[in-house]
Amino acid sequence: MTESEFNRQIDATLLAIEEAADASEVEIDYENSGGVLTLTLENRSQVIINRQTPVRQLWVAARSGGFHFNFDAASGEWRRDSDGAELFAVLSRVISEQGGEAVTLTVG
């Protein structure tokens, strides 16, 4: 994947996360600045999602830890490098745990 392809994919993914946050049943504020998307939950805790261009990864930082995702061109999904878990499933889990409310983020 070229750098420009990577950046297009990341931009589309960050937008999809914003749209999923808007569509969720809970209050999630977000700010996107320079390829870093900060999700602020109702309890004021944050989940940070950012691009890591040199290694062509998307990183997620949450209270439960840091997670690295690689883009799987075959499925068109971001998959966690440690176990293959899909990005939106991981985000749903960490936001639910961290915010104390069940959240399911889906690609619309």
pLDDT of 47 above 90: yes
Which whole-number Å values give the CA distances from 91 to 1, 94, 99, in the listed order? 24, 5, 11
Confidence of residue 43 (pLDDT cuts 50, 70, 90): very high
Rg of the chain taking only CA atoms, in angstroms:
13
Determine how many CB atoms are found less than 10 A away from the CB of residue 67: 21
Residue reference for tokens 């320079």: 34
Domains and CATH numbers, the chain: 3-99 (3.30.920.10)
pTM for the complete prediction? 0.91
In this predicted structure, the answer to whether residue 107 has a pLDDT above a threshold of 90 is: no
Dmax of the chain from CA atoms? Answer: 39
For residue 108, the model assigns a pLDDT of 65
pLDDT tens figures, 62-80: 999 999 999 999 999 999 9
